[in-house]
Amino acid sequence: MSKDIDKRDGVQEEEHYSLNDDRRVKVLSPGRLVAKRFFRNRLAVVGLTMLVIMFLFSFVGGWIVPYSEDQFFYTMESQKKEYAGVTENTEYRYLITPDQELPTLVRANLGLVLGKDDVFQYKGANYHIETVGEELYQITNDEGTLLALAFKDIINPTQSGASLSYEFSYNALMTYAQGGGSFQADGKNYDMTEHGVITENGQDVADVGRVIVQSRISGRSIPQAFKDRVAQAIENHETEFTLTVDGQEREYTMTYDPAKLLYSVMEDTPTQVYDKYAPPSRIHLLGTEGNGMDVLTRLMYGGRVSLIIGFIVIIIETSIGVVMGGISGYFGSWVDNLIMRIVDIFYCIPSMPLMIILGSAMDAMRVDPQIRMLYLMLLLGFLGWPGIARLVRGQILSLREQEFMTATEATGLSVKRRIFCHLIPNVIPQLIVNMTMGLGSIILTEATLSYLGLGVKFPFASWGNIINEVNNSYVLTEYLWVWIPAGVCLLVTVLGFNFVGDGLRDAFDPKMKR
């Protein structure tokens, strides 16, 4: 009874209603009766609340959150990169005067006597050794002709690969032995600092030294300050040092490989990397996942995808199911038989294995993720209708025999109208319950497929493919924030649909006394 009538009649008059007066009884429409029964069910109300929260989370949340579905986040991380390789020369090298020769065996023997004897004999020839500087010797024969220079300090051209003439090398070595100065070679003037850096008109040409420093990063030359610092570090047996290069203070670590007699210098360089598995913080409330994307944002968009897929699939399923079941139940006889056998056949097709096979085939063919999602929905829809068709047919079979259907026939309504205006509305309660529960199970199926990596694919998010990262057992144990929230979202949503479906089933059942 509406409120207007209440007011008009007043409270006192109520006593005067006759016993069979309709107004004595509070009349509720069937819909309101169902709603009343539904809201009395505590579980159903809890379920409805859960669903409302999840819908708001997925559809409004993605709108509020400042990030987008596939936005990557970066962080600066200091990475050790090999910067230079350093060798210290411990062997004598020989600069042989043009047109002279020094046989290999002589060189081998020379190595033993250099710095100890002045003369040494080999195959009847005398070799005179004269010390010129620190570990720099001149080797002459009996006639006093210079055969070669033996040295340990190596001349490195600044331009790698540039060849150095004999004259240049000779003069450079001699000047280095004297502690620097200027010298002439090939008609050019060179200056040398006491550290052995050779310049021509202020430009670096080469340097002389015991330590060879080679850049490991192509296209990056090594500044002299670094070379000096490395030489000093080797001398002092330091393993770590800092150096200001180009106004930036950098940290270097040195490791020594005794087998290769090689020091390798690692440089700490700040590098931009994906902010992977960042723990929850103020910027990322639920942290970030393996691709450096915000988990909370992915969850919201994932919820959208999961729910939309669920709705589309259930709509496809229900429309096919209602049409097939309706036709089958109404017409009976051979039509019914035929449709029910088709239902039986579809019932026997194992949908999960089929989805897995098609999913991995699509994987191999690199189907576009968006088209894939479409296929997924169509397939799930086309495989899921038999259950609904059976339900509708069963209902219609029993409804068909009732009096109101005889009445529609008697009034001469068209077949179409009888099915869709009188039969189907009576099936709708069961259908709604079925759809609600079905939504939950479709979301589960989609999530399972995505979890296996065969459903919704990156860059689209889905609750299932967020949990997919658990396959990496380190994520399983250490990065709980990546997968637990997605699982909870799934659980809450499916549970919500099931609670509501259960509540609706009870509410629609007129036999229920509460």
Partner 1 sequence: MRKFIIKRLLLSVVILFFVTFIIYVLMRCLPTSYVEAQAIRLAQQPGSKPVEEWMAQLKAQYGLDQGIIPGFFQQLGHLLRLDFGDSWKFTIPVLEKFRQVIWISFAMGAISLVLELIIAIPLGIIAATKQYSGTDYTISAVALAGISFPTFFFATLLKLVLSVKLGWFELNGLHSTAAIVGNLGAWDTFLDGVWHMIMPITTLVVLSIGSLMRYTRTNMLEVMNADYIRTARAKGLDERKVVYHHAFRNTLIPLVTIIGGSLPGLFSGALITETIFAIPGIGKVSYDAMVAGDIPFSFFYLTFMAVLTLAGNLIADILYAVVDPRVRIS
Piece of 215-223, 227-235, 297-305, 346-354 that binds partner 1 (CB under 8 A): 346-354
Which residue in the set 57, 151, 451, 508 belongs to the binding site for partner 1 (CB under 8 A)? 451
**CA-to-CA distance for 417 and 431, rounded, in angstroms?**
19
490 lines the binding site for partner 1 (CB under 8 A): yes
Q: Which is nearer to partner 1, 321 or 485 (CB)?
A: 485
127 binds partner 1 (CB under 8 A): no
Instruction: Return the number of the residue (222 or 494) whose C-beta is nearest partner 1.
Output: 494
53 binds partner 1 (CB under 8 A): no
Name which position in 356, 399, 413, 432 contacts partner 1 (CB under 8 A): 356
Among 156-164, 190-198, 407-415, 479-487, the segment contacting partner 1 (CB under 8 A) = 479-487
* Torsion sign, CA atoms 184, 185, 191, 193: negative
Cβ 322 to partner 1, closest distance in Å?
23
Chosen residue from 82, 344, 368, 409 binding partner 1 by CB under 8 A: 344
CA–CA separation, 334 and 343 (whole Å): 14
Stretch of 188-196, 359-367, 394-402, 415-423 contacting partner 1, by CB under 8 A: 359-367
If binding is defined by CB under 8 A, does position 36 make contact with partner 1? no
Contacts of 299 (CB under 8 A, 6+ apart): 57, 286, 461, 463, 466, 485, 486, 489
Least distance CB 470 / partner 1 (angstroms):
5
Check if the beta carbon of residue 200 is closer than 8 Å to that of residue 192: no
Residues comprising the chain, all counted: 514
Task: Decide whether 127 or 499 has the Cβ nearer to partner 1.
Answer: 499
Query: 333-348 and 295-331 helices cross at what angle (nearest 10)?
Result: 150
Determine phi and psi for 267, rounding to 5 degrees: -110, 135
| Encoded amino acid at 269, one letter | T
Closest contact distance (angstroms) between CB of 79 and partner 1 is 30
User: Looking at 27, 255, 476, 510, which residue binds partner 1 (CB under 8 A)?
Assistant: 476
| Cis amide bond preceding 98, omega within 30 | no
Piece of the chain touching partner 1 by CB under 8 A; list 100-108, 180-188, 397-405, 474-482: 474-482
For 417, phi and psi rounded to 5 degrees? -70, -40
Q: Which of 365, 401, 411, 416 binds partner 1 (CB under 8 A)?
A: 365
Q: Which is nearer to partner 1, 5 or 364 (CB)?
A: 364
Question: How many C-beta atoms lie closer than 10 Å to residue 497's C-beta?
Answer: 25
- For 493, the token pair is 């949503």
- Residues 378-437, interacting with partner 1 (CB under 8 A): none
C-beta of 311 vs 347, nearer to partner 1: 347
Instruction: Specify the stretch interacting with partner 1 by CB under 8 A; choose among 213-221, 324-332, 351-359, 402-410.
Output: 351-359
**Candidates 55-63, 78-86, 243-251, 468-476; binding stretch for partner 1 (CB under 8 A):** 468-476
347 binds partner 1 (CB under 8 A): yes
The Cα 148–Cα 94 span in angstroms is 6
> CB-wise, 209 or 503, nearer to partner 1?
503
Q: Which stretch binds partner 1 (CB under 8 A): 94-102, 111-119, 156-164, 361-369?
A: 361-369
* Complex with partner 1: residue 200 or 344, whichever CB lies closer: 344
Identify residue 355 by its one-letter amino acid code.
M
E strand map for 134-275: 136-140, 146-151, 154-157, 181-185, 188-192, 197-200, 203-209, 211-215, 240-245, 248-257, 262-274
Question: What DSSP string runs through 264-303?
Answer: EEEEEEEEEEE-TTPPP-SSSTT-B-TTSBBHHHHHHHHH
Residue 49 binding partner 1, by CB under 8 A = no
The Cα 150–Cα 139 span in angstroms is: 7
Q: Which of 10, 219, 258, 353 binds partner 1 (CB under 8 A)?
A: 353
Q: Cα dist. 4→7, 21, 26, 398 in Å?
A: 5, 17, 14, 40
Nearer to partner 1, 323 or 452 (CB): 452
Handedness of CA 40, 41, 43, 45 (dihedral sign): negative
Q: Does 368 bind partner 1 (CB under 8 A)?
A: no
115 conformational bin, left if phi > 0, alpha if psi -120 to 50, beta if neither: left
Of 360, 370, 402, 472, the one binding partner 1 (CB under 8 A) is: 360
* C-alpha–C-alpha distance, residues 494 and 303, integer Å: 12
Q: Site for partner 1 (CB under 8 A): which residue of 26, 364, 410, 411?
A: 364
Distances in Å between the Cα of 387 and the Cα atoms of 196, 321, 324, 384, 405 are 89, 7, 11, 7, 25
Indicate whether 502 belongs to the interface with partner 1 (CB under 8 A).
Answer: yes
361 binds partner 1 (CB under 8 A): yes
Return the number of the residue (147 or 449) whose C-beta is nearest partner 1.
Answer: 449
Site for partner 1, residues 313 to 342, rule: CB under 8 A = 341
By CB under 8 A, the count of residues binding partner 1 is 44
Q: CA of 305: how far to CAs of 221, 228, 295, 309, 464, in Å?
A: 52, 61, 15, 6, 10
Residue 290 phi/psi, 5° resolution?
Answer: -65, -20
CB atoms within 10 A of CB 373: 22
Beta strands in 203-259 (DSSP E): 203-209, 211-215, 240-245, 248-257
Find the part of the chain contacting partner 1 (CB under 8 A) among 110-118, 121-129, 305-313, 493-501.
493-501
Contact positions vs partner 1 (CB under 8 A): 42-43, 341, 344-345, 347-350, 352-354, 356-358, 360-361, 364-365, 440, 444, 447-448, 451-452, 454, 464, 467, 470, 473, 476-477, 480, 483, 487, 490-491, 494-495, 497-499, 502, 514
